[in-house]
Amino acid sequence: MSQRTVARRYATALYEEADRLGVVDSIDADIALLRSSLADSDELHRFFQSPVISDEKKHSVIDALFTDRTHELTVRFLKLLVSKDREDMVSPMAKQYQALRDEQRGIVEARVKAAYNLSDDDRSALRSALKQTTGKDVRLVVDVDNSLIGGVVVRIGDRVFDGSVQNKLESLRERFRTSRIGDAPAQNGSQPA
């Protein structure tokens, strides 16, 4: 069974329990906090991955980090993953939980690489254009990529929209390379002989 499938099952179980208890909004916020904490801290990510840290130590760290900041269901769930030796599923499960909730709400996540940090107006225009293209609400995740000359590259699932200046230059270069000189229009009104 793939890691994604296992993570999706755990995410679904967490959602179903949250729904049963009527705390879905709280768990949604907790998962957002967990994802951002993991993204911001390589140390936390390594902590959950480490096989040498005991379950007891992991439980006490989970209590210290999350008991006052998250719902008790989230804390119990994280401890359950540790007890079942599935703490390597924390990050993938959080990602799958977000994907599950996005599907339920009709939201797609667009991962954007831009040459510079986008202004609020740029983000709004891009979100609107992508909503029109996908027919869904769009959550933008923007990363600045200094290797881009300009423009943006957007990934939604398996689809990539490459509006970067670099891509446009490569496309133009390819057109010049494949076009033949005889295809060029005549200059100054003269006709080829």
Break the chain into its structural domains and give their ranges: 3-103, 106-181
CA 167 to chain centre: 22
Say which residue, 7 or 180, is predicted with more confidence.
7
Tell me the pLDDT band of 91, cut-offs 50, 70 and 90: very high
Q: Is 33 exposed, middle or buried (0-12, 13-18, 19+ CB in 10 A)?
A: middle
Q: For 41-84, how does the pLDDT look when each residue is reduced to its tens digit (9 = 90+)?
A: 889 889 888 889 999 999 999 999 999 999 999 999 999 999 99
| Encoded tokens for 150 | 């300009």
Residue among 103, 109, 114, 99 nearest 130 (CA): 109
Q: Which amino acid is at 94?
A: A
Per the CB < 8 A criterion, the answer to whether 11 and 100 are in contact is yes
Q: What span, in angstroms and rounded, lies between the C-alpha atoms of 139 and 102?
A: 9
Helix/strand/coil percent split, the chain, to 5: 60, 15, 25
pLDDT at residue 51, rounded to an integer? 87
Q: Which CATH number does 3-103 carry?
A: 1.10.520.20
pTM for the whole structure: 0.70
Residue among 29, 103, 92, 93 nearest 66 (CA): 29
pLDDT at residue 158, rounded to an integer? 82
pLDDT at residue 183, rounded to an integer? 56
Q: What span, in angstroms and rounded, lies between the C-alpha atoms of 146 and 166?
A: 12
Q: For 116-134, how does the pLDDT look when each residue is reduced to its tens digit (9 = 90+)?
A: 888 999 999 999 999 998 8
User: Is the torsion defined by CA of 136, 139, 141, 147 positive or negative?
Assistant: positive
